[in-house]
Amino acid sequence: MRGVLVTFEGIEGSGKSTQLLRLSERLRRLGVSHIVTKEPGGTALGAEIRRLLLTRHASGEAWAPEAELLLFYADRAQHLKAVIRPALEAGQVVLVDRFEDSTRAYQGASGVGEDALNHLRDLVLQRLRPHLTVLLDLEPEQGLSRAGSRNEALPGFQETRFDEAALDFHRRVRQRFLQIAKDEPQRVSVVPAKEDPALVEAGVWRAVSPLLRSSGIEVD
Ligand SMILES: Nc1ncnc2c1ncn2[C@@H]1O[C@H](COP(=O)(O)OP(=O)(O)O)[C@@H](O)[C@H]1O
Ligand SMILES: [Mg+2]
């Protein structure tokens, strides 16, 4: 495959969407052909799955962790087939807002075991792996507070409380992301996400630009 797959990972509010937009703008100015997509919900059918995953059902029923896991992978399988693989085959740079590592971090922190995660990854991704994963690293207190301010501006906003249990969960998610980075330092680049967006953007560019250069893409 000729294209380049770059994924953005990190906890809620770490700045993934902000930084993807900035990178996309920069690539546009440089004339680099690319697409920006996201998980869950990067396809029409995936958007339906996203709704099932992210909105609380009126009955109050919640997904069993295994059911949730399979929905994320159903979304990913569709996304790979309909969007990611065709774009890579066409030689594009593909930027994805959350991917495989989010499943490993969140569903792992929810109690899904390593074997199940590896099995589904191998089934759905086969041999495909991101060429680079940018891990935006931030303390959960900060991420959740940023996400809270962002969501207040949205229509239909409902306040979510971040109690100790929620914070503790996000701390474990963060540690899982950092562990993935430790295990796969070649693929995963940790970018501190605490400073202002322009400084974070510079860190993202330091991670992404060498990969683009080595893939024969003009970026200077
Ligand atoms: N470096 C930053 N410093 C302060 N606020 C930021 C920064 N990056 C993003 N934000 C703001 O924080 C909120 C969450 O950022 P967002 O990009 O939506 O995070 P994510 O997509 O990772 O959940 C948004 O309101 C965004 O404008
Ligand atoms: Mg986002």
d(CA 22, CA 20): 5
Q: Which ligand is nearest to the CA of 19?
A: 1
Q: What's the pLDDT at 162?
A: 62
Sign of CA dihedral 49, 54, 56, 61: positive
88 in any annotated domain? yes
d(CA 181, CA 108): 15
50 in any annotated domain? yes
Decide: 71 in ligand 1 pocket, CB within 6 A: no
Paired tokens of 91: 């030689």
What are the CA-CA distances from residue 209 to residues 27, 187, 218, 219 (Å)? 10, 14, 9, 7
Residue 165 domain boundaries: 4-214
161 in any annotated domain? yes
Decide: 148 in ligand 1 pocket, CB within 6 A: no
Q: What's the pLDDT at 199?
A: 98
Question: How many domains in the chain?
Answer: 1
Mark the ranges of the chain whose per-residue pLDDT is less than 50.
none
Q: Which of 197, 209, 212 is nearest to 21 (CA)?
A: 197
Task: Look up the pTM and report it.
Answer: 0.95
Atom of ligand 1 nearest to the CA of 20: 17
The pLDDT tens digits of the residues spanning 21-43 come to: 999 999 999 999 999 999 999 99
Element (H, E) at 200: helix 197-214
Decide: 15 in ligand 1 pocket, CB within 6 A: yes
Decide: 176 in ligand 1 pocket, CB within 6 A: no
220 in any annotated domain? no
- Atom 23 (ligand 1): residue with closest C-alpha? 13
CATH number of the CATH domain containing 162: 3.40.50.300
